[in-house]
Structure 1
Amino acid sequence: MAFEELLDKVGGLGKFQMLQMTLILPSLMVVVCHSLLENFTAAVPGHRCWVHILDNATVSDNDTGILSPDVLLRISIPLDSNLKPEKCRRFLHPQWQLLHLNGTFPNMTDLDTEPCVDGWVYDHNLFSSTIVTEWDLVCDQQSQKPLIQSLVMVGTLMGGLIYGHLSDRFGRKLILRWCLLQLAISGTCTTFAPNIFIYCLLRFLSGCSIAVVIANNCSLIIEWTRSQSKGMVLTLIYCALSIGQMILGGLAFVFREWHTLQLVVSVPFFVFFLSSRWLVESSRWLIITNKPDEGLKELKIVAHRNGMKNVEETLNLEGLRATMQEELETTQTKTTMFDLFRTPNLRKRTCLLFFVRFANSISFFGIIINLQHFGSNIFLFQVIFGVLTLSVRCLALYPMNKVGRRPIQMLSMFLVGLSILINIFVPQDMQTLRLILASVGISCVAASQTSFSVHQSELTPTIVRAKAAGLDLLANRCGAALAPLLMALVVYLPTLPWIIYGVCPIIAVPVLLLLPETKNLPLPDTIQDVENNKKFSRKASEKDFYIKVTKF
């Protein structure tokens, strides 16, 4: 916590922090497109079986040319329970007798049918191509779409664990730059994937990078920001993610061919990789990892950029060691992921935060990856959800700073679960009401995510914060990976996935009561800070906050 004193000397929210955010926020806007890309590149268009009499261009429809395509479709494709053409079966032989029924419908089960042995015909009005149309991921192969979505999320899970550890060992900036390059290369190569296996492998590698690009960018901003401004900064980060959702909807509307859309959201990461060289490594991390000389160098760079004068007299190695003496003593022992569970208070916080993040994620991804469940205009839905999350994340800053992190999370997560459960009882033909309830749910998830991220960063000590962020991403991606797989349960009960999506956030509400409130408290730097559980005066913190803001 002593690092706050050093940060006050060099400027906790000034020109440097603004420049750092200017470099970071654009990459966050684009990286979220990769997380939700399969909403569009793997969209399932209308389809039916290919039939020789109707779709073979070398064969005339009939000798006299008097039969229309609708008539030929009627005698070739059976109707489902909704009197729509079947998507996965066709008549074994043309049923000419159906031409003389005058609006009546026979029992289709009495007629011989077969699977789509010659392939499918797709509706290209919405998308010129998707991976579904390219590799025929429909009917018996339709389960591959949620598997691909889950594979991307598993990639983010693995990336969070592996690169989270490497970030604590080698630095936030170095690992971030590597992941930006990895995402640029793997995303671009995905455009030219020759088969579904290569596509899945490349998307998995992209997923490994997605988690770290978000986590390390956040760390490079948060660890350079004073405690009183963390809520505002994290809100800006989440607003950037919401803008990314809106950008994806617009790009998908313009680029209807999946190869082009994939390339458009991948190439910018080569630019982000080059511009990341101007980012400044976290001095907080450098000092905690026993590199005070390098940390002091970065502090002086920040002081210079923030226009802080006469800091050379007070900002020196001796002063830094005196200020951070307790923290530097802890660097003699290397930390691991297991350090999050060694001591009772930190172990309790870690487990509770894991469950809350999991419950939050499973409801968020349950809504956001099933856009086609709410209607056909998924471009509009993507933009609407982006606008809503952007608005709510901006508005959540005031009550979060006024009321606290915990009450906002509890109210938001309860409303998330309630809106999803109510939607179960709304008929499918009432699409407007279903969309409104889904919008309420996604808005509340956004508010909960914003307050949770602030809360989580304030509950975790600096020395293991990247590892905690990796574990947080593990919980996040466990929920994200499970959410699409739950849709396979519709074969047993159509509402079962949505019941799970709704119940999980409601269960998390009483769990939040077991976590302490952190409003206006400084960041803990060491595990001992958490175990000591020091009681800071909120009145003193608030008074100090107003003094600092006025001075700034």
Structure 2
Amino acid sequence: MGAPKPIENEKPPNQEESTSSLGDDEAFNADIILEHLGKFGWFQLKYLLCIGYGLLFPTSCILIYVFVGATPYHRCFVDGCDDPVDPVYKADWLNESNALSSLLSSPRNKGWQCNFTDFGNIPNASKPECAYSNYTANVKCHQWVFDKSVFTSTIVTDYLLVCDESWKVTFGSFITMLGVLLGAFFLGPLPDLIGRRTSVVVLGTWIASFGIGSCFAPNFDAFAAIRFLTGMGGVSVMQALIIWGLEAQRPAMRIKFICLIYCFQSVGNLISGCLAYLIRDWVTLQLCIFVPMGTMVVTYFILPESTRWLTVKKRYPEAKVIYENAAKLNKKEIPPHLLVIPSEIPEKSVEAGEAEGAPAAAASHDSNPIGSALKVLKTRCLLVRLLILCGTWLAQFLCYYGLSYAASNLSADVHFNYILVILVEIPAYVTGMFAMDYFGRRPILNFTLIVGGSFCLVAGLISKEFNTVIIVFSLMGKFCTSMLTVANNAFTFELFPTVSRGITIALCSTSGKVGAIIAPYIAAMGIVNRSLPYVIFGAISLAIGVLTLWLPESKGRGTPATVQEAIDLEKY
């Protein structure tokens, strides 16, 4: 592959057969060496637990905005009636009239939220005595009383994001997703530039620091700015962790590994939902999520650097030590000829990755992330492959967020809605794991896009009277979208060369984040026509699903280390 071939006279003759059965005997061929380390041992278990732990909360850091930015019931503060120190939403003075109490209980009621309601316009209601001298109907209010039965505090209650300031709640969500978008593009290549291990430490510290900092933001503008930076780090650390973990797995275990680490992510989302149910204060909730993110730095001392990355950087001695330690940990043996360091590369300069005697097998662009990425863009088959996968990521996020709008109405309990939608993910990941191992990567990618798109269309075309049916199709669509998430990550990982893998995944992920940003605006078309957003989501998924037929199959193939090996996948 991209690594140099061993010197023939150093290759032990008695090990010719052991490696020939694997189809390749190049030195530092990661796929071959990982086969010798066994299916699953302590080395792989370390990666699973550490990467899984790291993936518990990055997504939760973004999703908890559902609770952090929730808008509780609220009404104007009535001077002379409400307690100035500890006002109560349904205060005793309101009990004088049942009509007033029922008015406040209606989620569709806008009276008393921004203006003092004229009591004469409320059937069977009379003005309380305490309000006679301190109440002017139809005048804007500047103090509010919030219902604390569901949330004791959110950014809405602390920063008073109601009435004329209510648009800032949606903007907070938008600015977070914009950070996710730009983070995938600008921070996504970091693992290729400084290494997988170092990038996880940097990005883990990034998201923990800014996340904790957002808890103490003095105003909404500061909160939004820090939230933007948090979004940038959240998606980037996920990408770095996934790449780092996958590169330590043999090809046959790759899909299972993706499934398991995404199950960790879903467990983290469930934990965040349960924490949100138990902790109704947004500052405490965020601290419970972001503080554990800071402990991600310990992975630097537990897991070694990616040997694939070290190999393409020509840092062979470091990669050799890691492989030897892994073999001891798993109680396996690696044939010595697979760990032969090319004699023409001086060991002192190997670590710098700039040895003059670099093997001819590796072209210059195969050791440089930017050069490799540019070569991918200049190669027609790889460019088409990249564009189609950008489309699959776009469709994935469009479907996910599009179906979430219907799923959000499953019940009146926001915590139950959140947990129910997350629970669908774990069985979807497990199903995707077995399906891709049995049917292959491309058929599952094609199936989930077309079927998921069909569910979108059905959810949009069914009459709104059949709300239960819409909910069922929404959850089935979420099931397909979760399967698509596993397929997208595995397929994108296996179709591009090692040195530019972080950049190509970052480009695809960026495309997906564009989908996440535009999905709410497409959904807003539902004000004119309820079916239109679902038809758009479904049509895009179906179209991209057809295009995936032009992708090569990667099941059972070695992970490409060089651009040429990625091109050679077109044969399958």
Q: TM-score, normalised by structure 2?
A: 0.82
* Equivalent residue runs for 1:303-452 within 5 Å: 303-309=327-333, 311-312=335-336, 315-318=339-342, 326-327=361-362, 330-331=365-366, 335-336=370-371, 337-368=373-404, 372-425=408-461, 431-452=467-488
What SS class does the counterpart of residue 119 from structure 2 fall into?
Answer: coil
Please tell me the residue identity of whatever aligns with 1:355: G
1:132/1:138 contact within 8 Å kept: yes
Are positions 1:143 and 2:167 aligned together? yes
Contact 2:189 2:502 in 1 (8 A): yes
d(CA) in 2 for partners of 1:207 and 1:267? 16
SS at match of 1:338: helix
8 Å contact from structure 1 (residues 3, 324) kept in 2: no
SS of alignment partner, residue 193 of structure 2: helix
- Cα displacement string for residues 399-424 of structure 1 (whole angstroms, at most 9, x for unaligned residues): 21111222222222223223233333
- Find the partner of 2:236 among 212, 226, 230: 212
Measured in 1, the distance between the counterparts of 2:464 and 2:80 equals: 35
Measured in 2, the distance between the counterparts of 1:334 and 1:100 equals 71
Check the 8 A contact 1:288/1:328 in 2, yes or no: no
Of 246, 252, 266, the residue aligned with 2:270 is 246
Q: Which residue among 80, 99, 111 is the counterpart of 2:124? A: 99
- Is the 8 Å Cα contact of residues 357 and 476 (structure 1) preserved in structure 2? yes
Q: 1:542: which partner in 2?
A: none
Establish whether residue 292 from structure 1 lines up as the match of residue 328 from structure 2: no
Secondary structure class of the residue paired with 1:317: coil
Q: Which residue in the other structure is 1:26 paired with?
A: 53
Aligned equivalent of 2:96, options 45, 65, 68 = 68
Paired AA for residue 316 in structure 1: V
Is residue 38 of structure 1 aligned with residue 73 of structure 2? no
Partners in 1 of 2:502 and 2:166 — Cα distance?
A: 37
**184, 202, 208: which one pairs with 2:208?**
184
User: Which AA in structure 1 matches 2:514?
Assistant: C
Judged with a 3 Å threshold, the aligned counterparts in structure 2 of structure 1 residues 69 and 400 are, in CA distance, closer, same or farther, namely same
- The Cα of 1:93 is off from its aligned counterpart by 4.1
Stretches of structure 1 that go unaligned for 5 or more consecutive residues are 60-64, 102-111, 537-552
Q: 1:245-272, CA deviations, whole angstroms, 9 ceiling, x for partnerless residues?
A: 2112111111111111111001101222
Change (3 A) 1:96 1:431: closer
State TM-score, norm by structure 1.
Answer: 0.84
Residue among 164, 172, 193 paired with 1:169: 193
Question: Quick one: distance in 2 between partners of 1:140 and 1:26?
Answer: 41
* Total equivalences in the alignment: 519
Structure 1 stretches of 4+ with a deviation exceeding 6 A read 77-80, 319-324
Alignment CA distance shift 1:218-1:23 (3 Å): same
Cα distance, 1:331 vs structure 2: 4.3
Q: Deviations over 1:149-207 (max 9, x none)?
A: 22212212222222222221210111110111111111111111111111111111111
CA contact (8 A) 1:367 1:438 kept: yes
- Give the Å deviation of 1:88: 4.5
Secondary structure of 1:256's aligned partner: coil
Partner amino acid, structure 2, of 1:418 = S
Of 232, 257, 262, the residue aligned with 2:286 is: 262
Contact 2:552 2:570 in 1 (8 A): no
Alpha-carbon separation, structure 1, partners of 2:531 and 2:140: 29
**2:305 alignment partner in structure 1:** 281
Unaligned runs of 5+ in 2: 2-28, 88-92, 127-135, 346-356
Match of 1:549 in 2: none
Query: Which stretch has the larger CA shift, 87-96 or 189-198?
Result: 87-96
Report deviation, 1:213. Answer: 1.6
Q: Given that residues 235 and 397 in structure 1 are in contact (C-alpha distance below 8 angstroms), is that contact kept between their aligned partners in structure 2? A: yes
Match of 1:514 in 2: 550
Cα pair 1:374 1:434 within 8 Å, conserved: no
| Equivalent residues of 1:10, 1:311 under 8 A apart | no
Matched position secondary structure for 2:149: coil
In the TM superposition, what whole-angstrom CA distance separates every residue of 1:490-526 from its partner, at most 9, and x where no partner exists?
A: 5554554444333322222111112122221111111
- Seen in structure 2, the aligned counterparts of structure 1 residues 12 and 177 have a Cα distance that, compared at 3 Å, is farther
The worse-fitting range, judged by mean Cα deviation, of 182-191 and 157-166 is 157-166
Cα RMSD after superposing both structures: 3.3
Q: How does 1:430-509 map to 2 (within 5 A)?
A: 431-509=467-545
Shift of 1:223: 0.8
User: Conserved in 2, the CA contact under 8 Å of 1:161 and 1:474?
Assistant: yes
Deviation, structure 1 residue 84: 4.3
